[in-house]
Structure 1
Amino acid sequence: RLWRSLHELLNRKHITRYDLLMHIGALKKEAGRDFGLVRISLPNPQEPVNENTFHFSLDRERLRRTLLREGRDLLRSNMQAASPETVWESYLLLTRREQAFKDLKGSLSIRPIWHQLEKRIEAHIFVSFLAFCLHTTLRNLARGRAAGLTSEAILEKLSSMQMIDVHLPTTDGRHIVMSRYTQPEKDVSLLLAQLGLSPPEQPPPKIYASGQIGL
């Protein structure tokens, strides 16, 4: 795209040096690092814009070095005594930690809660960590069985299944409570089968004495 745009500028008639510089600046911003692969000669002030004052060429040596580095990462570390493998594993661990915080703040929507009691703080940390573990397990499961699906997309699809409590009063004043989940729709059933999952058995009903639960 950069190369084609430069040719379009070269073939444009009656373009001023100011307009040329504005277009070059826009192309530089759009091309990013690829802009450095092209050598561009611009006209001096008061010079007209033509093929003698404005020309460009591909920096083949720089392109060759760029292609050699393509698909490679360069890590700079102060772990001088560590092996390259150890440095790389430490870097991957760091990225996983950063992703964990993003999951907690983003897809899991775990907002800050200002606890005062120590046991409540520990409980909140435990629930947050448990949610993160389940989220990570789902992501790893999807990676092997449903490539292309993110854990967020799977959770959004599974959210159509709802858990409800059905309360049935009896003639002797007691109450029967049946916890039931809604049957998954066809696309959700296909997703569960692809992931190798299946809904659990419906829980058995519970019987409560009169006044034991609030309706």
Structure 2
Amino acid sequence: MFLRAKVRKKDGKEHRYFSVVENRRIGPKQQKRMAQRTVLYLGEINDGQEAAWRKSLEVFDESCQRYSTLSLFPEDREIPAEASSSIQVKLSEMELRRPRMFGNCWLGCELWRQLGLQAFWEEKLSSQVQRETVPWEKVLRLLVVNRLIEPGSEFRLHRQWFDPTAMAELLETDFAVAEKDRLYRCLDRILEHKQALFVHLRQRWQDLFAAPFDVLLYDLTSTYIEGEGEQIPQARYGYSRDQRFDCKQVVIALVITPEGFPLAYEVMDGNTSDKTT
């Protein structure tokens, strides 16, 4: 095995991307040719990292008194006593099991933390923690990250989305956080804190981005409801922006800054006229 570098130019600057490759003979017995197989892609590494990788890929052959390339993790050689942090790996038997989405989930949780929403909801929902096996803040965080990455219903989150992600590890909990009835009940517990959330977000936008509030934008949209919507008192027939005049709907008003930071929203009757809001 050895290191192979590919040079690419981007924005007038030269970048070198490294891979660990090995030579293999392929083709019929009489027409074998040498081909390179990528074992590990390293990406763009610095000089120190490159030197460390080259060192790990070269061994000294005592019989020939020279360095030569050898398998990165040779399974037929004993690990030297001085190599205390080394292990032997059989690359031919390595398997990838239960791969999970991590990066986008981690970023969603990090945005949640930087906006101060973890501390905010832990405080607001703390009185209900004793009666639950999973804190409501974690359930809400799961719902928000799901909406951010791959919006869908609570039932789809429960049945399909949760398992292939790393949310269980990031939330330090198990599948109980994605139990469908718990997901359905979560939003009912946060509605009473709506105004406090608006105040909190306004302060965070100001602290993080120095967002001005001299000019605000206001807009309306609507969302229709499948079925009769008998338990939704605000569901009414009205002007449908989705061209679903056969369905009841609710009207949603949103206030944002010119930069797009949301400040407040309100849900109104589905037959509310724009000019009366």
Fold shared, TM-score > 0.5 on shorter chain: no
TM-score, with structure 2 as normaliser: 0.20
User: More strand per residue: 1 or 2?
Assistant: 2
